[in-house]
Structure 1
Amino acid sequence: MQIVRVKISNFRGIASADILLPAHAVLIGDNNVGKSTLLEAIDLCLGPDRLNRNPPIEEHDFHLSRYLSEKPSAAADNAEASANAGAESSSSLENPIIEIELTVSGLSEEQRDHFSDNIEWWNPHTQTLYDGDAEGLDEAAALPAIRVTFQGRYDEGEDDFTGKTVYSRSIAEDEIPSSFSKRDKQKCGFLYLRTLRTGSRALSLERGSLLDIILRLKELRPRMWEETIQELKALDVATNPDLGISGVLESVAKAMKKYVPKEWGTNPHLRVSNLTREHLRKVITAFIATGEGDHAAPFFRQGTGTINMLVLALLSQIAEDKQNVIFAMEEVETAIPPYAQKRIVHELRSLSAQSLVTSHSPYVLEEFALEETLILSRNADGLLTRATVQLPESVKPKRYRQEFRQRFCEGLLAGRVLVAEGATEASSYPAVARRLAELNSTAYSSLEALGITVIDAGTDSQLAVMAKLYRDLGKRVFGACDRQTDEAKAAIEAEVECLYMHDEHGFEDLVLGNTTQAAMERFADLVEWPPHLLQKFEGNPKANLFKALMDLFLWAKGGWSAADFLAQCNEDEIPKFLKDACIDLKARCSPEDSSTDPDQSDADGVADAA
């Protein structure tokens, strides 16, 4: 079983979405873009226990928290209201509803029999529902599927929120849509594993815990409730006279006899509790030995990493008993070392018919193929869209895999990207922005605070190529480079929001040619000079400081020498071009915090400095 399509309307931050899903996928994107919301939407449709909450949704589940229609105000002109009354349809006054539709394909034979009356057909080639006649099914290679829809709304009569899941096609065909029941959902085998909640109740017997799911899948009903309750009822507490409690209770009993018949109340004593089955479900938990001794502690007191690996072990048990299962898991990497992250991904993929994970880890991302890596983005109107990585011709799959962690991953996970010409620029721009923010936080911000990640294009010839890759994924892209030809400049500018191009021969010339003697001398005293440069300058690089620092920067090109120099400068020692670039980036990415410094106007022309 596989979810092939998700359509969402009016749910949380998503005003609308129509997302196609592969068999296995990693969902990535900026924070608050809608990754968890997408999984929550699926859970509303397929989660067996999701609708047991009362109410199943709340006001903040509606997009912009709007769950009431915008009805005409009482102050509206009576004549105008009367004239428009006939033209206005009643639907225009209906309260907004949350609507989530899933198309689920890849049904097993058992599932086909169970859902037989509601089977539709999905064409995997066109990725649409098949709407032709029966004779064309084989030719279209259509697969049996079901569509289910969750609808949530505010009920004014009950002054409460309601929600239910129904078969989608019955909405139009039947007067009362056919309910998609809890038993139907259990047939789908959808498991939603939230990072913070899954481990905390994994080995308890609470309803919906992983251990409870395993017991239900094995059709085991532990007959321990009655026996345990009877044993606890018979257990008296603090009967030892030396404790003094039993004596107090006996005196209470004697006092009672003075006022009421003995059958009203006699023989008071302490017992554990008036436990019920539900109490036991919440308090019974597994204990696990910690270390080599016999001491055991509750499983949820173990380390976070241990708990997450325990969750993985339980998942494998679930999948073994229910082969056609769909796993959705948030933040696979939480408190897990890289090798274990990869192991979890492999297990999820091998144990399930479909796995959907969210992640910010390069070790997780590189375990998914390009077509399985879904980059989610959401515009200001709440439209959620997905994109996949389309490599340009100059970037071969082998290079993409080899350089994934160093060159590609950060850009995929960020919302804003500064593509730099080379390693020197890639290390220097974050360093100078951070230094300026320390010196003058009103005028400047670090690139990290602006949500900008810096990517090394490798060479100036690859700058436009890399910029296009990220722009096509919906990122905001900026560029930084040395002086280019008019043709190369035009090619780069076509792919970026703004190009920061200076007019010097190289970045080293920009830095050393636009700083102060004091800054260079201070850095010369801080740096550990390599032996070959000490020999070249006869043990005294400061005698020809500009040339010595230029040789040092060029010798360490691609390293951190230029970045380290900028990180120790004062504001007036940093080249104006770099200051203007940082001001402009802040104005573009955080306009409400931008400085009103009079020099800021100079940043408008930073891209054209020549």
Structure 2
Amino acid sequence: MRVARVDIKNFRGIQNATLLLPKHGVFIGDNNTGKTTVLEALDLTLGPDRLNRFPPIDEHDFFQGKYLPIPATEAVQDLPPNETQTEITPTIKDEIPAPKIEIEVAVVDLNNEQKARFWNYIEFWDSSADNFHAEKNLAGVDEQHIIEALRITFHGWYDIEEDDFQGKTYFTRSLLEEEKPTQFTKKDKQLCGFLYLRSVRTGSRALSLEHGSLLDIILRLKEVRPQMWEDTIRTLSPTNVAEKPDLGLSPVLESINTALKKYVPREWGIEPHLKISNLTREHLRKIITAFIATGTGSHAAPFYRQGTGTINMLVLALLSQIAEGKQNVIFAMEEPETAIPPYAQKRIVHEVRNLAAQAIFTSHSPYVLEEFSLDETVVLSRDHNGSLKQQAINLPDNVKLKRYRQEFRTRFCEGLLARRILIAEGSTESSTFPTAFRRLAELNPAKYSSLEALGICTLDAGSETNIPGMAKLYREVGKRTFAFCDKQDAKNKALIEEQVELLFMHNEKGIENLVINGTTEEALKRFADLLDWPQHLAQKYPVPKQSVVAAIKDYFLWAKGNWGISDFIAQCGEQEIPLWIREAA
């Protein structure tokens, strides 16, 4: 079983979204794009334990926090200028209905048990068109493209009468065809095998016996029902904590008891004493936890007190047990790289892909992302209206797949994870521009900001001719693209401008000339004193400050691509940084 499509309306930061999911894939994009929201939407619809929480949703789960009906007068006021009141008034009665969270999930590749259980609500999915097959009569249809599918819908709303939030899941066909829709129950969801591993919340509960913990899921899958509660309660019940008089606590409790007798009859309550827990099975579920030995000795500590990386690998071991038990599980996993070294990140990805019928990750790690092919990488972007979209990565002609793979960590990954990208023509430019902006922000923060603060990542195109192709790659996946280069001929300038939002092009031939001609002699001489000159330049310029312009220019050319100009900019004052760069900042 796997999720083929998910449609989301009015959920958190997403007003609307329709996403097609690969068998195994990774969501990428800048922070607050909506990656986690998509996984939370899947959990609301397919997760067997999510709706146990009451209420299952709250005010902040609605798009822009809007969950109340909208009065007709406000609705008319909010209309665009070209919509007249006379055109809209007849369709509005007292108010516009309250917004509702709607999530529809299409699942395919059903196994025989699922087909048998859900047969009354089965539909057919056309995998060639990535949509449901419109015709009920399948005669003459290429059956290789038509497969059984199931649609499930989550509705979340505010109940005015109860003054609380409600959430339920239904078979989508029942919403369309039945007067009273049929709910998609917890038992139904358990058969789907959806598991959502949240990076920040799983560790503390993984090896507890709380309902919904990973250990509890494993016990239920293996049909193990530990009959331990009564025995445990009987064992703990006679034990009073700190009852020895020399500890000092029991005399205090006795004095409280004496005072209590003055005011209340015996049957109201006497003899306060301390017990280990509430002595209920629900409380024991929360406080019983696994201990793990640490180091080389025999001392054991609660598992959640281990290192974060150890906890995550422990969680992976538990997940593998769950997957082996279900055989048809869908894993959704947030940021498997958290506190995990690169080799272990890769191992997690491979293990989960092998165990799961479908694995969906979110990640900011190049070591995770490079384990997925182009068609398994889902680039998400969200506009200011809350419309979430996915884009495929299409390599331009000058970026071959081999180059993309070889340079993924160093050149392409950072851009795919950012929203705004500055493409520089070479390594010198890609180091100089961020350094200059950072230095200006340090010197005059009221006027300037660093590129990092502006949310802009800087990438080295490798050459000026590569700028258009790289810009096109990122622009097509929804990124805002900018470029920085020296003077170009009219043809290449036009090619670059076609792909970028803004081109920063100076009129010098080479960034070395831009910096040398735009700074002061004092700044050059100060930098010359700081340098450990390479031998060949030390011989050529025995006293560099006597011909400082020529000496520093030769040094910049020798150190090209090796942070030479960046080091110079980093020690400049504001007025010593070239005017062209200051104006660009």
Q: Shorter-chain-normalised TM-score: which range?
A: over 0.9
* Structure 2 CA distance for aligned equivalents of residues 399 and 174 of structure 1: 55
Q: For residues 353-397 of structure 1, give each alpha carbon's deviation from its aligned partner in whole angstroms, at most 9, with x where no partner exists.
A: 111111111111101101111110001111100012101121111
Change (3 A) 1:535 1:146: same
User: Cα deviations across residues 387-431 of structure 1 (Å, max 9, x unaligned)?
Assistant: 121011211111111000111011000000000011110000000
CA contact 1:11–1:99 (8 Å) conserved in 2: yes
Aligned to 1:577: 580
* Deviation at residue 250 of structure 1 after TM alignment: 7.3
1:5 paired to 2:5: yes
> Of 373, 384, 387, which aligns to 2:391?
387
| Residues 484-513 of structure 1, C-alpha deviations (whole Å, 9 max, x = no match) | 111111110010011111111111001001
Please name the residue that 1:47 is paired with.
47
Cα 1:223/1:421, change in 2 over 3 Å = same
Change (3 A) 1:129 1:256: closer
2:328 and 2:161 mapped to 1: Cα distance? 41
2:361 alignment counterpart: 357
Note closer, same or farther for the CA distance 1:253–1:518 as it changes in structure 2 (3 Å cut).
closer
Counterpart of 1:578, as a letter, is I
Deviations 1:46-82 (A, max 9, x none): 11111111111111111111112221349999xxxx9
For 1:560 and 1:141, the matched residues in 2 are separated by: 55
| Contact 1:233/1:273 (<8 A) preserved | no
CA shift for structure 1 position 234: 2.3
Q: Return the offset for 1:249.
A: 6.8
The reply to whether residue 529 of structure 1 matches residue 533 of structure 2 is yes
Distance, in Å, in 1 between the alignment partners of 2:537 and 2:560 is 15
1:29 alignment partner AA: G
Contact persistence 2:421–2:458 (CA under 8 A): yes
Instruction: Tell me by how many angstroms 1:93 deviates.
Output: 2.3
Counterpart of 2:568 in structure 1 is: 565
CA spacing shift, 1:296–1:126, aligned 2, 3 Å: same
- Give the number of aligned pairs: 577
After superposing the two structures, state which structure 1 stretch, 280-289 or 250-259, moved more. 250-259
Residue 239 (structure 1) shift: 4.5
Corresponding letter in the other structure for 1:324 = N
Q: CA deviation at 1:243?
A: 4.1
Asked if 1:105 is matched to 2:108, the reply is yes
**1:66 corresponding residue in structure 2:** 66
Deviation string, structure 1 residues 326-348 (Cα, Å, up to 9, x no partner): 11111111111111111111111
Q: Determine the C-alpha separation between the residues in 2 that align with 1:264 and 1:570.
A: 79
Residue aligned with 1:329, SS: strand
Task: Say which SS state the counterpart of residue 499 (structure 2) adopts.
Answer: coil
Decide which of 294, 304, 308 is 2:308's aligned counterpart: 304
| Structure 1 CA distance for aligned equivalents of residues 94 and 186 of structure 2 | 30
What is the Cα deviation at residue 16 of structure 1? Answer: 0.3
After TM superposition, give the deviation of residue 556 of structure 1 in Å: 1.3
Aligned counterparts, 1:20-169, within 5 A: 20-73=20-73, 87-88=90-91, 93-132=96-135, 133-139=137-143, 141-169=145-173
For 1:264 and 1:492, the matched residues in 2 are separated by 84
Q: Among 509, 531, 543, which residue is 2:546 paired with? A: 543
- Among the aligned pairs, what percent are the same residue? 60
Give the gaps of 5 or more residues in structure 1. Answer: 583-610
Which residue identity lines up with residue 63 of structure 1 in the other structure?
F
CA distance in 1, matches of 2:141, 2:221: 35
Q: 1:494 to 1:46 in 2, by over 3 A?
A: same
Q: Would you say 1:341 and 2:341 are equivalent positions?
A: no
TM-score of the two chains, using structure 2 as the length reference: 0.94
Residue 424 of structure 1 aligns with an amino acid whose one-letter code is: T
In the alignment, what sits opposite 1:422? 426
Q: Is the 8 A contact 1:24 1:355 kept in 2?
A: yes
Instruction: Give 1:259 shift.
Output: 10
SS of the aligned residue for 1:197 comes to coil
Q: Assess if the C-alpha contact under 8 Å between 1:376 and 1:384 holds in 2.
A: yes
Matches of 2:386 and 2:256 in 1, distance apart?
A: 67
The alpha-carbon distance between structure 1 residues 251 and 572, as it changes in their structure 2 partners (threshold 3 A), is closer
Q: Is 1:411 paired with 2:415?
A: yes
Amino acid at match of 1:155: D
Match of 1:278 in 2: 282
Alignment of 1:241-260 (within 5 A): 241-243=245-247
TM-score (norm 1): 0.90
**Counterpart contact for 1:123–1:140, Cα < 8 Å:** no
Cα distance in 1, alignment partners of residues 328 and 418 from structure 2? 34
* Residue 215 (structure 2) aligns with: 211
Give runs of aligned pairs for residues 181-260 of structure 1, distance below 5 A.
181-243=185-247
CA distance in 2 between partners of 1:166 and 1:504 (Å): 65
Unaligned 5+ segments in structure 2 are 78-84
Among candidates 375, 378, 397, match of residue 401 of structure 2: 397
The root-mean-square deviation of aligned C-alpha atoms, in Å, is 2.5
CA distance in 1, matches of 2:61, 2:75: 30
SS in 2 for 1:165: strand
| 1:209-253, Cα deviation, whole Å (9 max, x unpaired) | 110110011011111111000111122334445446667777888
1:491 matched residue in structure 2 = 495
- Encode CA deviations 1:91-129: one digit per residue, 9 max, x unaligned: 962111110000000111111111111111111111111
Q: CA deviation at 1:208?
A: 0.6
* Change in CA separation of 1:563 and 1:183 when aligned onto 2, cut-off 3 Å: same
Mapped partners of 1:335, 1:23: distance in 2: 27
- 2:139 aligns to what SS in structure 1? helix
Q: CA deviation at 1:573?
A: 0.8
**Superposition deviation, residue 269 in structure 1:** 5.6
Paired residues of 2:72 and 2:93 also in contact (CA < 8 A): no
Tell me the distance in 2 between the aligned counterparts of 1:452 and 1:248. Answer: 64
Give the Å deviation of 1:24.
0.8
Taking the aligned partners of 1:340 and 1:208, their CA distance within structure 2 comes to 26
CA gap 1:241/1:572 in 2 versus in 1, 3 angstroms = closer
In structure 2, how many angstroms separate the alpha carbons of the residues matched to 1:498 and 1:267?
Answer: 78
SS in 2 for 1:446: coil
CA distance in 2, matches of 1:75, 1:462: 50
